């Protein structure tokens, strides 16, 4: 057991899979000698060399084009898109090529690759480098969507993503890179599509993802001191989505709150709310409440960014008022 930052967990998860499987390679902008712009890949070049850890040109299309070609020929690439906002530059490659390769070849060609990226706000990078875009990916058939909230899950879900036969978009939250937790030694392997209940409670269910998980837990602790007992579910992945864990919890608590960093319109919480309304309507004692970022570009101002993105205080206040 060792204390590991979320940042260090990225390199540990990649290294674990590169040691296990010689077909795994890693490519991206400034990922080799520089160790990544967020220092998430330090040491990989030294251990695995320049053939398996490759610096690319500043071209998202080139990175994903090379990764897709490699994946189609038996290699298992991990490709980095530095900021998730930059998916807008190469989204055609993701949506129309990578996501549909197996379908359009009638299963003759697999595309087992992981695209990892820094996602989300709260680090003062402004409107073009702070978006939370996992809901973009959730809308595309043919790709899996993962967003870990803890260092342990970074390692275990990275392993699951690399071993999966389908393309996986792996969203690492930039504001979590410095967070720490104890992580077990040895190989760690988690399961895609399996949510984790981080806190058990009887009065309401809070469903959260990535940075919103620790904020939901903090809100739950605030509410516990007032006699409101919350379950907090860390979804961990959006595709596959663990609807069973959500529905089981709603049957117990009868109230559901989603906490989403993405803007409200077409956010992943709308899909969760729709599923619960269809499958557990009669278990609900009130409407599903979505706690989101407003539908606006994120400001660079620290005060305004903090107002836009759900905080523990806003989460607690919204739940408090809804249950009053």
Active site residues: 60, 129
In three-state secondary structure terms, 102 is helix
Cα first-last separation, the chain: 43
Q: How far apart are CA 212 and CA 258, in angstroms?
A: 10
Q: What angle do CA 94, 44, 81 make, to 5 degrees?
A: 20
Q: Is the peptide bond before 270 cis (omega within 30 degrees of 0)?
A: no
State whether residue 231 is helix, strand or coil. strand
100-106 long-range contacts, CB within 8 A, separation 24+? 100/142, 101/68, 101/72, 102/142, 102/166, 103/142
CA–CA gap between residue 113 and residue 106 (Å, rounded): 18
Residue 296: half-sphere exposure toward Cβ, Cα within 13 Å: 9
Tell me which residue of 209, 168, 144, 210 sits closest to 6, measured CA to CA: 210
Gap between the Cα atoms of 255 and 249, Å rounded: 9
**CA 228 from centre of chain:** 28
Give the torsion sign (CA, 243, 245, 246, 249): positive
Distance CA 7, CA 244 (A): 31
Q: Which residues contact 300 (CB under 8 A, 6 or more apart)?
A: 124, 125, 126, 127
Please answer whether residues 150 and 159 qualify as being in contact, where contact means their C-beta atoms are separated by less than 8 angstroms.
Answer: no
């Amino acid at each position: 057991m060792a204390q590991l930052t979320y940042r260090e967990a990225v390199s540990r998860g990649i290294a674990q899979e590169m040691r296990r499987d010689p077909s795994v390679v890693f490519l991206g902008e400034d990922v080799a000698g520089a160790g990544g712009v967020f220092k998430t890949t330090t040491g990989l070049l030294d251990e695995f060399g320049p053939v398996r850890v490759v610096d690319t040109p500043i071209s998202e299309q080139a990175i994903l084009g090379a990764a897709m070609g490699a994946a189609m020929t038996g290699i298992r690439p991990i490709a980095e898109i530095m900021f998730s906002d930059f998916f807008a530059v190469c989204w055609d490659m993701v949506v129309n090529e990578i996501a549909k390769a197996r379908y359009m070849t009638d299963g003759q060609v697999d595309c087992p690759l992981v695209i990892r990226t820094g996602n989300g706000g709260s680090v003062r990078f402004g409107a073009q480098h702070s978006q939370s875009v996992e809901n973009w990916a959730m809308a595309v058939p043919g790709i899996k969507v993962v967003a870990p909230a803890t260092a342990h899950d970074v390692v275990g879900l990275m392993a699951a993503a690399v071993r999966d036969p389908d393309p996986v978009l792996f969203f690492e939250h930039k504001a979590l890179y410095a967070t720490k937790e104890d992580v077990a030694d040895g190989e760690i392997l988690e399961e895609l599509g399996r949510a984790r209940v981080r806190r058990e409670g009887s009065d309401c269910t809070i469903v959260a993802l990535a940075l919103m998980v620790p904020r939901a837990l903090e809100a739950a602790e605030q509410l516990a001191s007032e006699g409101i007992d919350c379950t907090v579910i860390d979804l961990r992945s959006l595709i596959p989505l663990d609807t069973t864990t959500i529905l089981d919890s709603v049957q117990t608590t009868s109230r559901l709150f989603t906490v989403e960093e993405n803007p409200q319109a077409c956010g992943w919480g709308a899909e969760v709310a729709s599923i619960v309304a269809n499958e557990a309507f009669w278990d609900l004692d009130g409407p599903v409440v979505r706690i989101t970022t407003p539908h606006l570009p994120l400001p660079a101002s620290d005060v305004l960014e903090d107002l836009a993105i759900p905080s523990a205080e806003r989460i607690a206040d919204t739940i408090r008022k809804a249950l009053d």
